[in-house]
Amino acid sequence: MQLTGAEIVIRCLQEEKVEHVFGYPGGSVLFIYDEFFKQDQIKHILVRHEQGAVHAADAYSRSSNKIGVCMVTSGPGVTNAVTGIATAHMDSIPLVIISGQVPTAYIGQDAFQEADTVGITRPCVKHNFLVKDVKDLAVTIKKAFYLAKTGRPGPVLVDVPKDITVQKCEFQYPKTISMRSYNPVVKGHAGQIKKALQLLLEAKRPIIYTGGGVILSDSSEKLTRLTRTLGFPITQTLMGLGGYPATDKQFLGMLGMHGTYEANMAMQHADVVLAIGARFDDRVIGNPNHFAQVTRKIIHIDIDPSSISKRVKVDVPIVGNVPDVLDEMLKQLEAAEAKVDAKSLSAWWKEVEGWRSRNCLKYKQGKEIITPQYVVEKLYEVTGGDAFITSDVGQHQMFAAQFYKFDKPRRWINSGGLGTMGFGLPAAMGVRFANPKAPVACITGEGSIQMCIQELSTCKQFRLPVKIINLNNGYLGMVRQWQEMFHGNRYSESYVDALPDFVKLAEAYGHVGMRIEKPADVEPALREAFVKYKNELVFLDFIIDPKANVFPMVAAGKGLSEMILAEDL
Amino acid sequence: MRHIISILIENESGALSRVSGLFSARGYNIESLTVAPTEDASLSRMTIVSVGSEDIIEQITKQLNKLIDVVKVVELSEAAHIERELMLVKVRATGKDREEMKRVADIFRGRIIDVTDSSYVIELTGNTAKLDAFLDAIDRSLILETVRTGVCGIGRGDRILRV
């Protein structure tokens, strides 16, 4: 049967079992939107800004392991989406973005709402396509879905000129796809795995260090089994939280710039590091030269060969899909005659416990001023540690990562790589669509929340009962912290004057707003939000200590063990 | 260290910008880049000359392999290979220089492919060093214009790069 390009787009999405598309209509995608109107299999979520659409689709994927799908129009629709696409790209999130384009004959003529979409997005997508013939449309969309999810995942964009959406051709959706230029590795090299295992069994001061790759590949269970079998300490990156139960005693907390004292010290002083789905980035190991001063053996499991030996020289590289490699590792471990060096391990644990006893996250909660750490701890208690937590970027993000103990994967949703302020609220929407019954909280600050605040309107339209935990200190907190510590207390442009009344703002959008100013009111307010107003969006504006800083801290360019601790430690 | 990287890439529009964009985005340098379709019109072959440490070249190779359109990547300079570059030089050729220029071109096995009463265009192929040597051998003030293709290269003997 002959279908138009617009019909083909919708049919392809249906074939891919897409349930939700986040988007915003415009001139170039009118025919596609017309087809949305004529069907009810796919639900379209109208956001208020294209950045919100991409963040929502992104978090939809992060919290469910489905591919997030968004649709935007040409020109400004695409440029608005770019921040969202780059965010997903940095964190390897599988998305398919369908963008409208001006008609083929107008391309290059500086037409109304024309932008070089393929050119603009090229550095921040896994791959992109410009469809030049309606006959290529279906296979291109198939490729987009295939590329997004396989190998190291990432966003894939398909740019569809308007004339293509009107032209007709025979529709047939390919069942499978193969590309001679794209063959991601799955199984790890068995010999390398054997070598790795030998190192692990001989290790005297081992540590397991995992990142977002464990979450993305749904390997938490296997990782937990391996970690428990080995009995090693484990630490995780910001992106890896939830990959191993945070309440377990083998877990040392997050490592890196704002990681725990014990995690950073153990990472620095380990003699064997087992890195899984992590990439030794600058926020994780600090200065690579300082890190390299200690001799250690590094085993690195990653699906992307280019992540291996990029910043830190690796001794045993294992390229492969994390769950497949872990399976093989567990199999070989169970069959191995040698056992871990229990004596050394127990001495190592003693040392680690010594570091842990510094209690580096200690803070004081007085009677007058609310501290941000206290709010996150109470949120953890009130939600039983079982909520989906999205966050924006800054101090509140670090407090959330340090104090909300994630026992399950895909519960901690944040922009780790790009560090995108404005991510939290639209992300919370995406999470809620993927998990319609789950409690969702967005931990944010008065700076970040205003970067995508318009999505409060989307939340109203779709009745999304997100709880916004606004840690309001009147400052761009992380900027202020750096200015205090490294720029002689010169608070250049980090004080946010003329803040809106967030309670009234929430009410104006049709939601519930609360301002909380006393520590004693924190828990009752949270309970009210999660119990009494269970089905409402509640904006909780916590007026917090403007001087609170995030510790421990590894200053930029410093080594992992050169942490700045809170004053009274 | 100077390295030569050969790439087979899908002959799609935008393929070149994916490769050149990768180099600029990651701060790798390109000394020269040549590209043209192969005997199979669906594939293009690129030759890139880059300078960097072993670690950087390893990263470049991995990053190139990660590009979806790239079918194969080989570091040509890690084993026996031949490299060639084509240069066209327009020189002033009058009076005694006319004969001298012809002689030097012959020594370098260059060919004169355009002649006017006051100029020659000399075509020369060879590796980069040979072309440089030719430019050094003639009187610089006589050079009116030069154009070079950049290096293209191929492995010796059994070293074959194809799909």
- Report CA Rg, chain B: 18
Residue indicated by tokens 């877990």 = A251
A15 is catalytic: no
Judged by CB atoms closer than 8 Å, whether chains meet at B17 and A119 is answered as yes
Q: Which of residues 518-537 of A touch B (CB under 8 A)?
A: none
Q: Which of residues 331-360 of A touch B (CB under 8 A)?
A: none
Q: Give the nearest chain B residue to A116 (CA atoms).
A: B14
A478 is catalytic: yes
Q: Which of A181, A304, A312 to mutate against chain B (most B CBs within 10 Å)?
A: A181
Please count the other Cβ atoms lying within 10 Å of the Cβ belonging to residue A30: 14
Judged by CB atoms closer than 8 Å, whether chains meet at A306 and B66 is answered as yes
Which of A127, A130, A309 is nearest residue B68 as measured by Cβ atoms? A127
**Cβ proximity of B54 and B60 under 8 Å:** no
The amino acid sitting at B1 is: M
Q: What CA dihedral angle connects A224, A437, A392 and A355, to 10 degrees?
A: -30
Closest CA to A519 of A545, A538, A539: A545
Handedness of CA A85, A88, A92, A93 (dihedral sign): negative
DSSP letters for A43-70: EEEE-SSHHHHHHHHHHHHHTTSSPEEE
* pLDDT-derived band at B133, boundaries 50, 70, 90: very high
What is the nearest CA distance from B149 to chain A, expressed in angstroms?
Answer: 26
What are the tens digits of pLDDT across the range B79-129? 999 999 999 999 999 999 999 999 999 999 999 999 999 999 999 999 999
Bridge-based pairing state of the strands B2-10 and A272-276: unpaired
A16 is catalytic: no
**Cβ proximity of A237 and A278 under 8 Å:** yes
Residue A346 main-chain phi, psi, to 5 deg = -70, -30
Per the residue annotation, which of A14, A15, A19, A113 is the catalytic one?
Answer: A113
DSSP letters for A452-473: STTHHHHHHHTT--PEEEEEE-
Tens-of-pLDDT digits for all 569 residues of chain A? Answer: 899 999 999 999 999 999 999 999 999 999 999 999 999 999 999 999 999 999 999 999 999 999 999 999 999 999 999 999 999 999 999 999 999 999 999 999 999 999 999 999 999 999 999 999 999 999 999 999 999 999 999 999 999 999 999 999 999 999 999 999 999 988 999 999 999 999 999 999 999 999 999 999 999 999 999 999 999 999 999 999 999 999 999 999 999 999 999 999 999 999 999 999 999 999 999 999 999 999 999 999 999 999 999 999 999 999 999 999 999 999 999 999 889 999 999 999 999 999 999 999 999 999 999 999 999 999 999 999 999 999 999 999 999 999 999 999 999 999 999 999 999 999 999 999 999 999 999 999 999 999 999 999 999 999 999 999 999 999 999 999 999 999 999 999 999 889 999 999 999 999 999 999 999 999 999 999 999 999 999 999 999 999 999 999 999 999 999 999 998 66
A180 interfacial to chain B (CB closer than 8 Å): yes
- Interface residues on B facing A, Cβ-Cβ cutoff 8 A: 9-10, 13-14, 17-18, 21, 25, 55, 58-59, 62-63, 65-66, 68-71, 163
Bridge-based pairing state of the strands B81-92 and A440-445: unpaired
Q: What percent of chain B has pLDDT over 70?
A: 100
d(CA A62, CA A41): 22
Mean pLDDT of chain B: 96
Q: What CA dihedral angle connects B29, B34, B36 and B40, to 10 degrees?
A: -70
**Cβ proximity of A396 and A477 under 8 Å:** yes
A17 is catalytic: no
In degrees, rounded to 5, the angle at the alpha carbon of residue B80 between the alpha carbons of residues B75 and B84 is: 80
Judged by CB atoms closer than 8 Å, whether chains meet at A306 and B18 is answered as no
**Cβ proximity of A390 and A230 under 8 Å:** no
Which of A181, A305, A309 is nearest residue B70 as measured by Cβ atoms? A181
By CB atoms closer than 10 A (0-12, 13-18, 19+), residue A497 is: exposed
* pLDDT-derived band at B40, boundaries 50, 70, 90: very high
pLDDT value of residue A496: 87
**Cβ proximity of A301 and A320 under 8 Å:** yes
Q: Give the nearest chain A residue to B70 (CA atoms).
A: A181
d(CA A560, CA A444): 27
Q: Which two tokens stand for residue A207?
A: 């540590």
**Cβ proximity of A472 and A534 under 8 Å:** no
* Contacting residues for A357 by C-beta, under 8 A, at least 6 apart: none
By CB atoms closer than 10 A (0-12, 13-18, 19+), residue B125 is: middle
d(CA B75, CA B72): 10
Residue indicated by tokens 């192969």 = B38
| Adjacent-strand bridge partners of A46 | A23
pLDDT value of residue B83: 96
Bridge-based pairing state of the strands B2-10 and B70-75: antiparallel
For B54, the enclosing helix (H) or strand (E) is: helix B54-66
**Cβ proximity of A431 and A438 under 8 Å:** yes
A162 is catalytic: yes
Q: Give the nearest chain A residue to B72 (CA atoms).
A: A181
Confidence check on the interface: ipTM exceeds 0.85, yes or no? yes
d(CA A397, CA A375): 12
